[in-house]
Structure 1
């Protein structure tokens, strides 16, 4: 049994506007969802009663029950439109729910009692089973509103008692008669229905409490997430300005614009410049991640020639490749290869893939970028002959702040954000990114895009709308 505290809590929720609205909407939503299941049951029972008992009475009761279903359907639309603010509307809906419940339960009770009256011998298994089924259905699906459930079960309970006393009044049997056995069995059934109804109601209340806790936790999580995003954005912006000045100053020193750099300072200044570049990349990645998660990263889509895109990306990383002693080759697409995309964002993705391929390759090796058409799709592949990626590492490869080699002595550093950002940019293009790899042999990352048709080229050249992800 529910304790007094739980009952009082449930009562308080019911009488609050938000609590009552939730109960009413849950009740009417489930009522309308189960309308065809109820109709199928009513029609089956009416057909059986019409064949074995009185067809006129069966048809009349079915029509009355169907009428209450129509009223419930109309009431469901009104309750869905109720905002929960106007209490008079809530009162009206409650009264009509009670009226419909009384009509429906009374029609069903009259129907089963009439079947029992037509049976002069052999017990009342059929009408009692119909009534038990209706009561169990109510216990299972009407637990959102205890007052409505009690009203329906009270009417069914009267019908149970009428049938239970029917043969006792008819025959006045001795106590050892099966008639009395049927009577006590019906009493046990009533107890079972009352108990199971309470259990369903308790479970519904627990679900509401759990839902409330989940919502509260969700609100706390959202608040923490917003604070984190604001912190990252503020820190990143505050760091960018002084870092830009430091990088510019170091560049001037390295180029000799402020005079020749003493030999013993060149190494230290070079390290400072390199770390400044690393920090700038980290800040840019954090800002990009924050924009994507906040839905503030803008995309300007237009038809893009993939061969030209790849050539531009390779040229932008040429200096880096030369320093590492790695050759980058391009295998262009022979057919017309155009996609709908944001060139600057796609260059960002390509630069990340090329940078990773170069970092994990040995001096003297080759990185190949291939463009090919695959039916209605275009694939861009970046293939290296580096160390490879172990199996089962995909979650770390595309995760946030993760590295496949997360040890303190890893060869290649990084923020662990590049591929995660690249994946999100690619997905904003309705494309996909994946890879195949073998340890000690190399890795191939590939991007698959939808290929533009000629008519789409013309349409895209006339208009290149901006899109916010």
Structure 2
């Protein structure tokens, strides 16, 4: 057995510290996982042998095993605390694991041999089965530390041979005797156990290799993601500078500061202005997405007056709505002193996304209604249009990145599909809810809901700021 093991499962002499530590952690984790199964086996063995053989030796065996089990648990906790930089501690802990393995296996082997010697020749079913169960358990569950598995299988194999060879030595039977059958059966069982150990060892090492490949792939993916993020951020910032100049120049031309614009050029100037605004919005959205992914989005949470933020969002989007030949109306109840906890500028961004989408997808001459209503201890801010509506089953697309309900070349309105995804991230960061209700061909109502600030909380917040 030793020759086969040394040829096929002996660990490399220069095993990396990371791999050795991983093996030890896996070994002790398995010990924790199977602790109650082992206790049941040892207790059952002790009770059976105490009843049919010597109670004193049975109790002594169980006490020794419990000491070893306790030491295993202490070593397992020690392994949990080890790091890859503690080379000396790792080596010392491994030595203690192997020493405890020797003591543990020796107790099992000595007790099995003792029980066998108490029986007449050939009647060793109980101790042999006990050894077989222990050896099979080791073959299946001790492959993480190869030397621990070798120690156990070697000691169990020697005990097997001691029991059957002792019978042959004492009885000197003919080759046709059952004692020789027992001997050859034990040899076969030992081969079977070694083969099982090798199978589980190969599976374990294959899994470790696959895990290592996954870790390497994960590191490469992280590096690629960081590179992508840096590239997107750099390019977006670099695009902003010339775009700001272009927008500024176009605005000067449109205001007439540089003279009257010829009628034939006005259409081109308007188109350039419109597309520069779209490009600016796209760059801002990409930068927001980048900040959210990196966890760098800055929020200034404070009490926000719901009526004020609704009125302000309407005022800031009147020009956009007018460009689409759409009017905006306000629908606010008489109770206006409602406050929520949010970042006013980011909430304004959310409402602007909702209003611009409503205007974009409305029919010419349509009306967009923006308002809010109290719902118990919550408030709902909504934007309602009378436009084309949203098909059923499109909820995921509405809030996905770079997603459009209609992705065809003839869709009703353009866009990047980033606005609602960013809005969802912002609203959920404030602990709110964003959703919509829609009827195809009859319009949509997008809304956000937030918990209202209690008067005591609001007063305390104002007092702190004051």
Q: Say whether the fold is shared (TM-score over 0.5).
A: yes
What secondary structure sits across from 1:11 in the alignment?
coil
Q: Within the alignment, does 1:389 sit opposite 2:390 as a pair?
A: yes
* Offset of residue 178 of structure 1: 4.2
State the distance in 1 between where 2:374 and 2:168 align: 86
* Offset of residue 206 of structure 1: 1.1
Aligned length: 458
- Counterparts of 1:353-432 in structure 2 under 5 Å? 353-369=354-370, 371-373=372-374, 377-432=378-433
State the distance in 2 between where 1:336 and 1:396 align: 35
Q: Say whether the 8 Å CA contact 2:9–2:198 is kept in structure 1.
A: no
Q: Within the alignment, does 1:49 sit opposite 2:54 as a pair?
A: no
Q: Say whether the 8 Å CA contact 1:376–1:450 is kept in structure 2.
A: yes
* Offset of residue 369 of structure 1: 4.1
State the distance in 2 between where 1:172 and 1:122 align: 12
* Offset of residue 41 of structure 1: 3.3
* Residue aligning to 1:193: 193
* Residue aligning to 2:262: 262
* Residue aligning to 2:3: none
- Counterparts of 1:133-148 in structure 2 under 5 Å? 133-148=133-148
* Offset of residue 57 of structure 1: 2.1
* Residue aligning to 2:276: 276
What secondary structure sits across from 1:299 in the alignment?
coil
User: Taking structure 1 as reference, are residues 364 and 267 closer, same or farther at Cα in structure 2, changes over 3 Å only?
Assistant: closer
* Offset of residue 170 of structure 1: 5.5
* Offset of residue 425 of structure 1: 1.7
User: Taking structure 1 as reference, are residues 262 and 458 closer, same or farther at Cα in structure 2, changes over 3 Å only?
Assistant: same
More deviation in 173-182 or 235-244?
A: 173-182
* Offset of residue 378 of structure 1: 4.1
State the distance in 2 between where 1:277 and 1:313 align: 18
For residues 310-358 of structure 1, the C-alpha deviation after alignment (integer angstroms, 9 at most, x for no partner) is 3332332223223332444435595975432212111111211222122
* Residue aligning to 2:239: 239
**Unaligned runs of at least 5 residues, structure 1:** 1-5, 465-469
* Residue aligning to 2:341: 340
What secondary structure sits across from 2:12 in the alignment?
helix
For residues 87-140 of structure 1, the C-alpha deviation after alignment (integer angstroms, 9 at most, x for no partner) is 332221121111010011111222333333444488444333333332222222
User: Taking structure 1 as reference, are residues 398 and 455 closer, same or farther at Cα in structure 2, changes over 3 Å only?
Assistant: same
State the distance in 2 between where 1:72 and 1:193 align: 24
State the distance in 2 between where 1:448 and 1:9 align: 64
State the distance in 2 between where 1:376 and 1:54 align: 75
State the distance in 1 between where 2:161 and 2:90 align: 34
* Residue aligning to 1:292: 292
Q: Say whether the 8 Å CA contact 2:313–2:351 is kept in structure 1.
A: yes
State the distance in 1 between where 2:192 and 2:56 align: 33
* Residue aligning to 1:16: 16
State the distance in 1 between where 2:376 and 2:175 align: 85
State the distance in 2 between where 1:149 and 1:142 align: 5
User: Taking structure 1 as reference, are residues 342 and 123 closer, same or farther at Cα in structure 2, changes over 3 Å only?
Assistant: farther
* Residue aligning to 2:203: 203
Q: Say whether the 8 Å CA contact 2:112–2:127 is kept in structure 1.
A: yes
State the distance in 1 between where 2:114 and 2:9 align: 41
* Residue aligning to 2:230: 230
What secondary structure sits across from 2:303 in the alignment?
strand
User: Taking structure 1 as reference, are residues 315 and 25 closer, same or farther at Cα in structure 2, changes over 3 Å only?
Assistant: same
Return the TM-score normalized by structure 2.
0.88
Q: Say whether the 8 Å CA contact 2:400–2:421 is kept in structure 1.
A: yes
Q: Say whether the 8 Å CA contact 1:72–1:97 is kept in structure 2.
A: yes
For residues 65-84 of structure 1, the C-alpha deviation after alignment (integer angstroms, 9 at most, x for no partner) is 11112222222233233323
What secondary structure sits across from 2:299 in the alignment?
strand
User: Taking structure 1 as reference, are residues 103 and 246 closer, same or farther at Cα in structure 2, changes over 3 Å only?
Assistant: same
More deviation in 395-404 or 442-451?
A: 442-451
Q: Say whether the 8 Å CA contact 1:157–1:190 is kept in structure 2.
A: yes
Q: Say whether the 8 Å CA contact 1:331–1:368 is kept in structure 2.
A: no
**Unaligned runs of at least 5 residues, structure 2:** 1-6
State the distance in 2 between where 1:360 and 1:222 align: 39
User: Taking structure 1 as reference, are residues 426 and 121 closer, same or farther at Cα in structure 2, changes over 3 Å only?
Assistant: farther
Q: Greater relative contact order: 1 or 2 (C-alpha under 8 angstroms, separation 6 or more)?
A: 1
State the distance in 2 between where 1:119 and 1:438 align: 86
* Residue aligning to 1:467: none
State the distance in 2 between where 1:181 and 1:443 align: 85
User: Taking structure 1 as reference, are residues 197 and 267 closer, same or farther at Cα in structure 2, changes over 3 Å only?
Assistant: same
More deviation in 291-300 or 313-322?
A: 313-322
Q: Say whether the 8 Å CA contact 1:250–1:269 is kept in structure 2.
A: yes
* Residue aligning to 1:104: 104
